[in-house]
Amino acid sequence: MNAGTASDEVIDAIASIEMHRQELEKEAGLAAACSEALRKLHELLDHERAAQQLHAPGTKHPANVEAVTAEIKRIQKMAGVRTQAAIPRNPRPGQHQVSVRSGTRIPPRTRGRRTMGRRGDR
């Protein structure tokens, strides 16, 4: 067997998930369709990884895992999902950027010292 190409079953499963995603996108929108497709693709990926652990290295399972992983990345990109590596980090962790809105905010008034449990009318 050639380990470079995914099996027909996995290719068919990916195509079926994509067709379902396109139909669902028309009905429920892009976010819901991508979420459903990602859920199904992750299930397929888990199945293929489990099969890869059980079978010999000469099978198509590594190519299947790679094909499903590539499809997951494509759907995530389409949905705008950002991975941890893609999230920009603050170059100076000790400093926080202040937005314009919060910079002009008036601080809350101090209410002075209050006693607990008493109202003030003795």
Residue-wise pLDDT tens digits, 24-65: 999 999 999 999 999 999 999 999 888 888 876 667 778 888
Q: How many CB atoms lie within 10 A of CB 10?
A: 23
Q: How deeply is 81 buried, as exposed, middle or buried, from its count of CB atoms within 10 A (0-12, 13-18, 19+)?
A: middle
Cα gap 57→61, rounded to integer Å: 8
Two tokens, residue 102:
């919060």
| Residue 110 CB-density burial (10 A; 0-12 exposed, 13-18 middle, 19+ buried) | exposed
Mean pLDDT of the chain: 77
Nearest alpha carbon to residue 75 among 116, 33, 117, 114: 33
Containing 16, the helix (H) or strand (E) segment is helix 8-28
Task: Tell me the pTM.
Answer: 0.61
